[in-house]
Structure 1
Amino acid sequence: MSKLLQRHLTEVETALSEQADAVERMVHAAYQGLRERCLGSAAQVLDSESQLNRSEVDIEEKCLELLALHQPVAIDLRRVAATLKINGDLERIGDLALNLAERTESLAQCPDVPVPAELEQMVERAIEMLRDAHSAFVSVDEALAHSVRERDDEVDDLNRRVIADLVKQMESSPQQVEGLLHVFSATRIIERIADHATNIAEDVIYLAKGRIMRHRWAQSA
């Protein structure tokens, strides 16, 4: 591998790592709005989302330039491919963070509708998964990536519990349906954030071992 290729790969991976930090801050800002039932989180996340979109395009262009100019093979090719895929997942998490912030602002208009404890647990787990997936990418830590992948089941279980409870509340308190629907939307958004964190973890496994992990839940690590 040439020194120039190594330098360019390091630069694009550093940019991706900065992107992951920004996305985590966006999700955390949306979570803070949810926890505190306050206004303003959507505007804060929207400002970050615009920069995120510009960075996503810049990283993609750099990856395509790497492929065209250096024609990497083996592990270097996997590094570029993983970066491209993770870049897309991070951009989608940013979109979801904005959607979550918008739902939390809607919930602020429904003070009588409680935020389920399980919903807050879901956000915390999703943020942990995102942070650990990022760490796994930086250090190419396959074991940590598998850990993130396995934790998706916990978020899915919390999601099912929240939805089941929401259905019961809608039946018993029809006057709160509007607010409960905002909670329902929020839980689905958080579940998707965890899914994208799982995708990133699977891309790290691909980077480390060259194994595509999608649809391989029944297989051992």
Structure 2
Amino acid sequence: MTMRHSYDQELEHLRQNLLDMGNAVAGAIEDAVTSLARQDAELAGKVMEFDDRIDQMEVEIEDKCMVLIARQQPIARDLRVIGTGLKITTDLERMGDHAYDIAKITLTLANQPLIKPLVDIPRMAQLAQKMLKDSLEAYTTLDISLAEQVCLNDDEVDHIYYQVFRELLTYMMEDPSTISQATQLIFVARYLERIADHATNIAEWTIYLVTGQRRRKK
């Protein structure tokens, strides 16, 4: 086996580790939102416990990147592959943190009747999860067009967030007894909006990986 072939295998393992972490984070987000919609404290607890595993995956990927840099002294595109891996794992870890935050709010609200049926928050979650899935697919296939679409989809998530914020603010103004729960639901919407932002970051890093050009959303 040539040195280059061995190196390529290590880069492929890095890519697979990132995808495994991405799938774990996607599952945590789905479970966190499901736990909120169902007010399922047990499922929320599992999401919070699983956050330690996501954190461990981040550390393992970071260590692998550091070893590759030290051992191979990569340049040009190889360096972008490893640098992008470091950036993406940070975004994934932060997404996992937001899933944890949503699950924690579920525990706070578990014994309270919801002030309104959850419609827009699950819709935000579905869009954010699709953005994460598509950003990982773009990274895997080096599909710039798909990465660009992820960036555009972030605007739709932002729009729903502001819609949720305004609606819940109206609840609070009309009935002060809803302030505590409405505030917690606004936090949930904000966490989902941030998850979408991190998915956008992954898409932008994919564009950088392929082109060498930085693209920052407006």
TM tier, smaller:
over 0.9
Aligned partners of 2:28 and 2:179: how far apart in 1?
A: 28
Match of 1:123 in 2: 125
1:2 is paired with a residue of what secondary structure? helix
Match of 2:74 in 1: 72
Match of 1:172 in 2: 174
1:33 to 27, 32, 35: 35
Aligned partners of 1:207 and 1:187: how far apart in 2?
A: 30
2:199 to 191, 197, 200: 197
Contact 1:115 1:183 in 2 (8 A): no
Aligned partners of 2:117 and 2:69: how far apart in 1?
A: 47
CA deviation string 1:66-116 (max 9, x = no partner): 111111122211111110000110011001100011112323222141244
* Structure 1 unaligned residues grouped into runs of 5+: none
Match of 1:183 in 2: 185
Tell me: CA distance 1:118–1:163, structure 2 relative to 1, closer, same or farther (3 Å).
same
Match of 1:9 in 2: 11
Say if 2:165 is the partner of 1:157. no
Match of 1:61 in 2: 63
Match of 1:143 in 2: 145
Contact 1:155 1:191 in 2 (8 A): yes
Say if 2:50 is the partner of 1:48. yes
Q: How much has 1:142 moved relative to structure 2?
A: 0.8
RMSD: 1.3
Match of 1:84 in 2: 86
Q: How much has 1:166 moved relative to structure 2?
A: 0.9
Contact 2:172 2:182 in 1 (8 A): yes
* Structure 2 unaligned residues grouped into runs of 5+: none
Q: Structure 1 segments of 4 or more deviating over 6 A? A: none
Aligned partners of 1:191 and 1:92: how far apart in 2?
A: 12
1:194 is paired with a residue of what secondary structure? helix
1:30 is paired with a residue of what secondary structure? helix
CA deviation string 1:184-204 (max 9, x = no partner): 111111111111111111011
Aligned partners of 1:104 and 1:114: how far apart in 2?
A: 15
Contact 1:22 1:48 in 2 (8 A): no
Q: Which letter does structure 1 place at the counterpart of 2:157?
A: V
| More deviation, 43-52/57-66 | 43-52
Contact 1:163 1:184 in 2 (8 A): yes
Aligned residues: 216
CA deviation string 1:132-167 (max 9, x = no partner): 111111111111111111100000010111111111
Aligned partners of 1:105 and 1:114: how far apart in 2?
A: 17
Aligned partners of 2:144 and 2:154: how far apart in 1?
A: 16
Aligned partners of 2:57 and 2:120: how far apart in 1?
A: 33
Aligned partners of 1:109 and 1:164: how far apart in 2?
A: 25
TM-score (norm 2): 0.95
Aligned partners of 1:124 and 1:25: how far apart in 2?
A: 12
Tell me: CA distance 1:63–1:91, structure 2 relative to 1, closer, same or farther (3 Å).
same
**Aligned-pair identity (%):** 35
Aligned partners of 1:89 and 1:5: how far apart in 2?
A: 25
Q: Which letter does structure 1 place at the counterpart of 2:191?
A: I
TM-score (norm 1): 0.94
Contact 1:123 1:190 in 2 (8 A): yes
Q: Which letter does structure 1 place at the counterpart of 2:205?
A: D
